[in-house]
Amino acid sequence: MSAGAKVAHVETIAAATQALRAGQGADLMLVDYDLDIAALIAANEAERIRVPVVACGVGSDPQRAGDAIRAGAKEFIPLPPEAELIAAVLAAVSDDNRPLVARDPAMEAVLKLADQIAPSDASILITGESGVGKEVMARYVHTKSRRANKPFISVNCAAIPENLLESELFGHEKGAFTGAVARRIGKFEEASGGTLLLDEISEMDGRLQAKLLRALQEREIDRVGGGKPVKVDIRVLATSNRDLVQAVKDGIFREDLLYRLNVVNLRLPPLRERPGDVTALAEHFVKKYAAANGMPERPLSADAKRRLATHRWPGNVRELENAMHRAVLLSTGPEIEEFAIRLPDGQPMSGAAPEAAVARTASMAAEAASRNFVGSTVAEVEQQLILDTLSHCLGNRTHAANILGISIRTLRNKLKEYSEAGVSVPAPQGGLGANAA
């Protein structure tokens, strides 16, 4: 608590689920290993309440601690607690250490605008390519706002199935649909008084867009199955890695909703347009992952910095973060060496190639690809392209959809079709940047 955590206490696993269902959100649950941790996690999952669990217990019984981890707990803490240990474990599991690092003039200009508008209650649309740090910017705006001491609630509109998103946002009454065993407070009510982030809002279907527009205009929401509206006091931030103006022209996004959300636009430039941030971010991630892995902190070598500066970073900050995590683990000397900076497949990260070499390589690749695809159907070529791109992105659906230029929903439908046909689909890999299937 002295480090800023807010703590609530209940006695039973049923009371824990009820508290979360009632909108008393939590970033983490600390649960005695004498309780049925597996049942608690299952009860929460049944209502799509996903909060990481850390087990604790007096006596440090290795068997019971192991059982708790197998039941789904992320860590175990012996009791009575040592202050430094419990703080370190909770910080690591909640992973709330995401400061906004900016040194490049292009990014500093965006920060200046963010500082200027943060104290207001105006809706903000944060745009940019996948991996540029849109959610980090949203959290920054919240911490600079008058609502900083109130909840910050994030909802990934692309990660929640379409038929469940309405209940997730607006809540539901008991019996509203099959499986609605009790009243559930939605994210709008949970965020009341604070900030609600609608991540990847471009993936929301038209019917929900209309309901969202009403919520923003009237400052009230209707729970699914509810009989009367519920007043809410929130500030809404939204992110998108797609061109919403074009989405309006294509008829898949409401123009009036875009105007309501886009009072101010914060466009985050891709990492290739803010070279001054690359080294600063890399050094931050080296420090973070050295501490996380119990390794000594080492500086980046001059050659490593040059290599970082020549890469175009198509995956932006997320790709850089993953690369630095690998580099921390692979380095063997007193510095982070150039050879340790590698692509996800383990290959060395190549520097920028001359234009002629790039053109020659592209031509050779195109010729090889056309030879490989001759005799294949369009559907077979499409399937191979989607699966190869997904493998390149380590199973990250959002990143793959962005590269392919399709919506995350379209990608999910394609992958479902492939799986049902018996085709092996790359699963999201654990760690940074992986997202739910």
Q: Look at 83 and 314; give whichever has higher pLDDT.
A: 314
User: Is the domain of 380 the same as that of 406?
Assistant: yes
User: Is the domain of 36 the same as that of 83?
Assistant: yes
User: Does the pLDDT at position 22 exceed 90?
Assistant: no
User: Is the domain of 293 the same as that of 412?
Assistant: no
pLDDT at 158 (0 to 100): 85
For residue 374, what are the contacts with CB-CB under 8 A and spacing of at least 6? none
Number of domains the chain contains: 4
Q: Which range is least confidently modeled, 116-125, 202-211, 276-285?
A: 202-211
Residue 308 lies in a domain: yes
pLDDT band, very low/low/confident/very high, at 93 (cuts 50, 70, 90): low
For residue 411, what are the contacts with CB-CB under 8 A and spacing of at least 6? 386, 397, 400, 401, 404
pLDDT at 426 (0 to 100): 86
CB distance 151 to 195 below 8 Å? yes
* pLDDT tens track for 110-131: 999 999 999 999 999 999 999 9
Average pLDDT along the chain: 84
* pLDDT tens track for 100-110: 899 999 999 99
User: Is the domain of 129 the same as that of 173?
Assistant: yes
User: Is the domain of 261 the same as that of 288?
Assistant: no
364 backbone φψ class: left, alpha, beta (φ>0; ψ -120 to 50): alpha
pLDDT at 429 (0 to 100): 62
Which CATH number belongs to the domain containing residue 395 in this structure? 1.10.10.60
Strands 220-221, 230-231: pairing is: antiparallel
User: Is the domain of 186 the same as that of 41?
Assistant: no
Select from 94, 126, 148 the last residue of a domain.
Answer: 94
Selection from 169, 179, 246, 154 nearest residue 204 by Cα:
169
Which CATH number belongs to the domain containing residue 296 in this structure? 1.10.8.60
What residues make up the domain containing 398? 371-420
User: Does the pLDDT at position 437 exceed 50?
Assistant: no
Q: Which range is least confidently modeled, 124-133, 135-144, 358-367?
A: 358-367
User: Is the domain of 212 the same as that of 118?
Assistant: yes
By residue count, the chain amounts to: 437
pLDDT band, very low/low/confident/very high, at 239 (cuts 50, 70, 90): very high
Residue 366 lies in a domain: no
User: Does the pLDDT at position 435 exceed 50?
Assistant: no
CA distance 323 to 267: 24
User: Is the domain of 173 the same as that of 238?
Assistant: yes
Residue 429 lies in a domain: no
